[in-house]
A and B are shown apart, each in its own frame.
Chain A
Amino acid sequence: GQQLNQSPQSMFIQEGEDVSMNCTSSSIFNTWLWYKQDPGEGPVLLIALYKAGELTSNGRLTAQFGITRKDSFLNISASIPSDVGIYFCAGLYNQGGKLIFGQGTELSVKP
Chain B
Amino acid sequence: NAGVTQTPKFQVLKTGQSMTLQCAQDMNHEYMSWYRQDPGMGLRLIHYSVGAGITDQGEVPNGYNVSRSTTEDFPLRLLSAAPSQTSVYFCASSYGTSVYNEQFFGPGTRLTVL
Residues of chain A at the chain B interface (Cβ within 8 Å):
1, 4, 6, 9, 30-31, 40-45, 48, 50, 88, 90, 92, 94-99, 101-104
Within the complex, which residue of B41, B42, B99 is in contact with A94, where a contact is CB–CB below 8 Å? B99
Task: Verify if B77 is at the interface (C-beta below 8 Å from A).
Answer: no
Is B68 an interface position by the 8 A CB rule?
no
Q: Does A50 lie within 8 Å of B43, measured CB to CB?
A: no
Closest to B32 in A: A97
Complex: chain B residue closest to A42, CB-CB: B105
The answer to whether B98 and A95 have CB atoms under 8 Å apart is: yes
A5 to B110, CA, bound (A): 25
B103 touches A1 (CB 8 A): no
Given contacts A42-B105, A43-B105, A98-B48, contact A103 B40 (CB under 8 A): yes
Residue pairs across A and B with Cβ atoms less than 8 A apart, 19 shown, are A1-B59, A9-B40, A42-B4, A42-B92, A43-B90, A48-B100, A50-B99, A88-B42, A94-B99, A95-B97, A95-B98, A95-B99, A97-B96, A98-B48, A98-B58, A99-B43, A99-B45, A101-B42, A101-B43
- A97 near B105 (CB under 8 angstroms)? no
Q: Secondary structure of the A side of the interface?
A: loop
Give the residues in chain A near B35, CB-CB below 8 Å: 101
Given contacts A40-B107, A41-B107, contact A102 B42 (CB under 8 A): yes
Report whether A97 and B50 are in contact in the complex, using a CB–CB cutoff of 8 Å. Answer: yes
Query: Closest CB of chain A to B75's CB: distance in Å?
Result: 17
The listed residue (A43, A44, A45, A97) touching B33 by CB distance below 8 A is A97
Q: B105: which A residues are within 8 A, CB to CB?
A: 42-44
- Docked Cα-Cα span, A104 to B107, in Å, equals 17
